[in-house]
Amino acid sequence: MQRIFGWVVSGAVVISLFGVAYAQFAKPEQAIAYRRATMTLIGDHFGRIGAVVKGDKQYDPKETEQNATLLATLATLPWDAFTIADTDKGETHMKPEVLKDKEAFRKAADDMQMETAKLAEAADKGELAAVKSQFGATAKSCKACHDRYRSH
Ligand code: HEC
């Protein structure tokens, strides 16, 4: 738990530093690149936990805890980079609805952040059954947003 707290605190520091960076996206392409890079990392660390959940990879509690903690931190990062004008055009799969529907988009992001925090908690306890069920709940929160706001 101590570790998770440490990560959450360092996550908060990262957010406050990046809060400055958000305001400094000089061009829409930079916001798109930032959020896509973060989403790629989210997909990667989520996928590593998924391999354990599916039984393709042996459960290593420490490794899963590290992936889940990283995921929970990454899940706090990209959202401001989505709700920026003109970032629905260019090299992106974001639907324009995000810009019309910022509050609902934020709500979907908050749901996912909450699910990833619970996943990190389950992984911290080292209980594979709890990790499995919370992995499913987290995947639902990804899908809920993708179905609505991602174009493929
Ligand atoms: C609140 C909305 C939202 C949530 C929640 C969300 N995503 Fe996404 N995701 C998006 C949008 C929108 C894009 C398209 C971004 C773009 O192209 O600019 C995206 C893109 C991606 C990509 C493609 C990255 C790239 O550009 O190659 C991956 C991988 C991904 N998400 C994984 C996940 C996973 C895994 C979760 C859950 C753990 C998740 N996402 C949760 C909205 C969301």
Would you say the CB of residue 146 lies under 6 angstroms from ligand 1?
Answer: yes
User: Exposure string (b/e) for 88-118, b if CB count within 10 Å is 16 or more?
Assistant: beeebebbeebbebeeebeebbebbbebbbb
Those residues with Cβ within 8 angstroms of residue 24's Cβ, 6 or more apart along the chain or in another chain: none
Average pLDDT (117-130) is 97
Whole-model pTM: value is 0.88
| 10 has pLDDT over 80 | no
Query: What is the band of 152 on the pLDDT scale with cuts at 50, 70, 90?
Result: confident
Least confident of 1-5, 96-100, 137-141: 1-5
Residue 119: which of 66, 51, 44 has the closest Cα? Answer: 66
Would you say the CB of residue 145 lies under 6 angstroms from ligand 1?
Answer: yes
Please name the amino acid found at residue 35.
R
Atom of ligand 1 nearest to the CA of 47: 35
| 6 has pLDDT over 80 | no
Indicate the average pLDDT of the chain. 91
Q: Which two tokens stand for residue 86?
A: 């003109």
Give the residue numbers spanning the domain of 71: 2-149
Query: What is the band of 19 on the pLDDT scale with cuts at 50, 70, 90?
Result: low
Average pLDDT (124-131) is 97
Radius of gyration of the chain (CA): 16
Task: Tell me if 76 sits within 8 A of 16, measured CB to CB.
Answer: no
Scan for tokens 């990790």, then name that residue. Answer: 131
| C-alpha to C-alpha distance for 76 and 116, rounded to whole angstroms | 10
What separation in angstroms does the CA of 74 have from each of 10, 41, 55, 59, 150? Answer: 11, 8, 24, 22, 19
Average pLDDT (47-62) is 98
| 12 has pLDDT over 80 | no
Tell me the CATH number at 128: 1.20.120.10
Query: What is the band of 106 on the pLDDT scale with cuts at 50, 70, 90?
Result: very high
Atom of ligand 1 nearest to the CA of 87: 18
For the stretch 77-89, pLDDT in tens is 999 999 999 999 9
| 15 has pLDDT over 60 | no
| C-alpha to C-alpha distance for 143 and 138, rounded to whole angstroms | 9
| C-alpha to C-alpha distance for 36 and 44, rounded to whole angstroms | 12
Would you say the CB of residue 46 lies under 6 angstroms from ligand 1?
Answer: yes
Number of domains in the chain: 1
Those residues with Cβ within 8 angstroms of residue 103's Cβ, 6 or more apart along the chain or in another chain: none
The per-residue pLDDT for 11 is 60
